[in-house]
Structure 1
């Protein structure tokens, strides 16, 4: 639900994709905009979001301040809003979602795929990324080398990375052990290249990495790499739950 506050009509309509201020001024001049069933003559009219009824061409406009997107990030795409050389996750969005100017919450390496949350809700992003909050992240990975119960115990204690940092305890689950192992790993922090560096610390190499979940949010199985969808109201509520933090 939109937060109730007073804003300029042209700002609201621009925010949800009805064009530039100049284009919205033209809509108003053509008497195509109504507020509370009254034709508007002033594009700068202040209206109450979440309360006043706004219509354009007889269709009610649903205002919202924030957008929340779940993406299955594909390999080869950068977790950023812009990059001079590579495609970024924002490039994968439809115009009606891109206009909200969402940004990725955290990052996945260029060669990593899986769950990525995008939003323009800075407060929620801060909560999810705060090192003090220890929000869980679960990954599936294929590993070059035999992953053993000894590794499970080492990860449970926290491993020492190449820069001397000892990670928080992680939960390592072996799905298949062999020359090419398969695992799931849950960690509670987000150091640079952390999963890859944790396995390097025990003499093994990550050959494929996919994020499956972040906090209460689990990757939708129906999303192919590069696809995304809006979060449900229930998923947003879970992400904002005080119990998570």
Structure 2
């Protein structure tokens, strides 16, 4: 990779700005001052310093976002704010949401720039668990649990894969549940409950595969996935 491209990618400045920094001698590669902006860097081996500060290049980043309601899971939208507007400090990474949550759904959303990872994680044939917490209008019962296990028909003629529905609590006219699905159809969880006549009033994704949403993250906050979480996500992906 060109030296000026690496520095720009790491947020040091625009390409034109970092060219000036390099020519003025602000950059060292393997303890040697380099003044050629097109100098080629081996990102796996070379050690780069800018103004005596180590530059750590990463090709891919993986973020956990606790998505609030009101944000679109997209890179751009002309009407609503997008989830990328909540992410600061990663402007040079061409980030995108991995999958989607409805505008009024909260919870765990992965933000990354790794397209291959996103494709493999989202592929329906991979059967990756996604866990949701929901508040339901109506009393969810054991018959509903069995219906979800057998597969709920949504839309016309489409039967969802078997899902695990757990009743957390009920009162006279509402329920709190947890549901585990392995697909990601548009409005799927809501449509499943609509199909049994018990609409969703609140929905939050709490887990993707074995990775649980960090409970210390307030709505709208994010953090990088740690090494163990990344390894767990990639395991047999």
- The question of a shared fold, defined as TM-score above 0.5 by the shorter chain, is answered with yes
Equivalent of 1:54, from 33, 48, 60? 48
The answer to whether the aligner puts 1:192 opposite 2:186 as a matched pair is yes
Aligned positions, number? 236
Cα distance in 2 for residues equivalent to 1:162 and 1:146: 23
Cα distance in 2 for residues equivalent to 1:156 and 1:115: 24
Within 5 Å, which residues of 2 pair with 1:95-110? Answer: 96-110=89-103
Unmatched runs of 5 consecutive residues or more in structure 1: 1-6
Shift of 1:29: 1.6
Q: 2:157 matched to which residue of 1?
A: 164
Shift of 1:97: 1.6
Shift of 1:59: 1.1
The answer to whether the 8 A contact 1:33-1:56 is kept is yes
The list of structure 1 runs, each at least 4 consecutive aligned residues, that deviate by more than 3 angstroms after superposition, is none
Unmatched runs of 5 consecutive residues or more in structure 2: none
Cα distance in 2 for residues equivalent to 1:16 and 1:82: 23
Q: 2:6 matched to which residue of 1?
A: 12
The answer to whether the aligner puts 1:74 opposite 2:29 as a matched pair is no
Q: 2:168 matched to which residue of 1?
A: 175
Q: 1:33 matched to which residue of 2?
A: 27
Q: 1:89 matched to which residue of 2?
A: 83
Q: 1:231 matched to which residue of 2?
A: 225
The answer to whether the aligner puts 1:126 opposite 2:147 as a matched pair is no
The answer to whether the aligner puts 1:216 opposite 2:216 as a matched pair is no
Cα distance in 2 for residues equivalent to 1:98 and 1:33: 22
Cα distance in 1 for residues equivalent to 2:161 and 2:125: 12
Helix, strand or coil at the partner of 1:49: coil
Q: 1:138 matched to which residue of 2?
A: 131
The answer to whether the 8 A contact 1:75-1:111 is kept is yes
The answer to whether the 8 A contact 1:90-1:98 is kept is no
User: What is the TM-score of this pair, normalised by structure 2?
Assistant: 0.98
Helix, strand or coil at the partner of 1:48: coil
Cα distance in 1 for residues equivalent to 2:155 and 2:234: 35
Cα distance in 2 for residues equivalent to 1:113 and 1:54: 40
Cα distance in 1 for residues equivalent to 2:91 and 2:73: 15
Question: Could you list the per-position Cα deviations for residues 148-188 of structure 1 after superposition, in whole angstroms to 9, with x for gaps in the alignment?
Answer: 00000000000111322000000000011231110000001
Helix, strand or coil at the partner of 2:22: helix
The answer to whether the 8 A contact 2:11-2:91 is kept is no
Shift of 1:62: 0.6
Question: Could you list the per-position Cα deviations for residues 182-204 of structure 1 after superposition, in whole angstroms to 9, with x for gaps in the alignment?
Answer: 00000011111000000011111
Shift of 1:61: 0.6
The answer to whether the 8 A contact 1:139-1:186 is kept is yes
Cα distance in 1 for residues equivalent to 2:155 and 2:140: 19
User: What is the TM-score of this pair, normalised by structure 1?
Assistant: 0.95
